[in-house]
Amino acid sequence: MLDANVNGHRKYQKANSNYFMGLKKSLFLFFLILISKETFSCSCINTPLLEKYQRSDFVAKIKITKVIQDKSNKDYHDIDFELISIYKGESINKIKIVSVLNTSCSFLPSENTTWLIFASRDRNGFLSSGACSGSEQIDQTFDLVMYPNLDVKYKESIDLKLEVLEYIKGKKITVDNKFILTPTDYRLCLDDLKGYEEKNRFAVYQVIVNRDLSIKNIKVIKRFNNKDLSKKLTGCLQDNMKISAQNMKVIPEKAKMMIIYFYYLAEKNNQSFVSIWDL
């Protein structure tokens, strides 16, 4: 599922590789823990929330009620769950887990835990979620002696993702990206957006892309509350953003893509900032 997006995702990583160096140690540690299962142990590619949503066929908040080994395929487990909120896909109450136990990609949620689940059709045709799918346990607990305040940071991260998903659902926003379009040359915009005070945690933009990958229009769907911040971001995107498509210089037809920017408050010696990453 990830192979088709690898090049585009690597561009995201390269553009943002130095962005978090100024964050305080606990936030950086928190970020590493969040992505460790996706990036290090299982050689997955970490991706922003919107891309996880786009590549998934089923996105929901669930409570797992039963976990059973698949008798016909040892690489799978079946899970039954209570559907709390659905953000994409059909209303169902069971999927498969690509558990692949005793490997670096092992992934097996426990019964009676609550999850933000991302699932897609795998090569066997099953609707499944695995170590690289981006699923996160909502009621995760931590060793707070070793990692003080990590529970607070984790909850803030989960709540932000759920807030975005609820917004997409409530506004019935279409976020498909069938040509795997990737925004580039926007780093200057984000570098200049530090130190602002803002109430909204995210802003949403719609970009209309011509066949030759030129930008026809950038429309603000949900703006930041701070007028100066919103105006500066929008203007900078209009002046600097370019679009790339994997292995294509021309796309078959005009396309629409969504981009979400996240706002993070100042912490101690670190200024507030805007990022494409949902920390």
**Tokens describing residue 143:** 């060793």
- The CATH T-level fold of domain 57-132 is OB fold (Dihydrolipoamide Acetyltransferase, E2P) (2.40.50)
CA distances (Å), 41 to each of 36, 48, 104, 131, 143, in order? 7, 19, 6, 10, 21
CA distances (Å), 173 to each of 94, 170, 206, 250, 257, in order? 26, 8, 10, 25, 11
CA distance 112 to 80: 10
Residue 75 pLDDT > 80: yes
CA distances (Å), 139 to each of 53, 66, 116, 251, in order? 21, 17, 10, 42
> What is the pLDDT at residue 21?
39
Q: Please, are residues 73 and 126 in contact by the beta-carbon 8 Å criterion?
A: no
Strand-pairing partners, residue 136, are 116
Residue 7 pLDDT > 70: no
- Kindly report, residue by residue over 97-117, the tens digit of the pLDDT: 999 998 999 999 999 999 999
Q: Per-residue pLDDT averaged across 34-41, rounded?
A: 45
φ and ψ at residue 277, rounded to 5 degrees: -95, 135
Residue 8 pLDDT > 50: no
Secondary structure (3-state) at 134: coil
Beta-carbon contacts of 182 under 8 Å, excluding residues fewer than 6 positions away, are: 8, 11, 12, 243, 244, 245, 246
In terms of Cα–Cα distance, which of 186, 175, 176, 181 is closest to 248?
181
Q: Please list the residue range(s) of the chain that carry CATH number 2.40.50.120.
A: 57-132
Exposed, middle or buried, 243 (CB in 10 Å: 0-12/13-18/19+)? buried
CA distances (Å), 253 to each of 27, 68, 247, in order? 41, 45, 15
In the chain the beta strands, taken as DSSP E runs, fall at 58-69, 76-88, 94-98, 114-121, 127-129, 136-137, 181-184, 202-209, 215-222, 242-245, 255-264, 273-275
Confidence of residue 185 (pLDDT cuts 50, 70, 90): confident
Higher pLDDT, 3 or 209: 209
- Kindly report, residue by residue over 46-58, the tens digit of the pLDDT: 889 999 999 999 9
Residue 41 pLDDT > 80: no
CA distance 235 to 240: 9
Q: Please, are residues 114 and 84 in contact by the beta-carbon 8 Å criterion?
A: yes
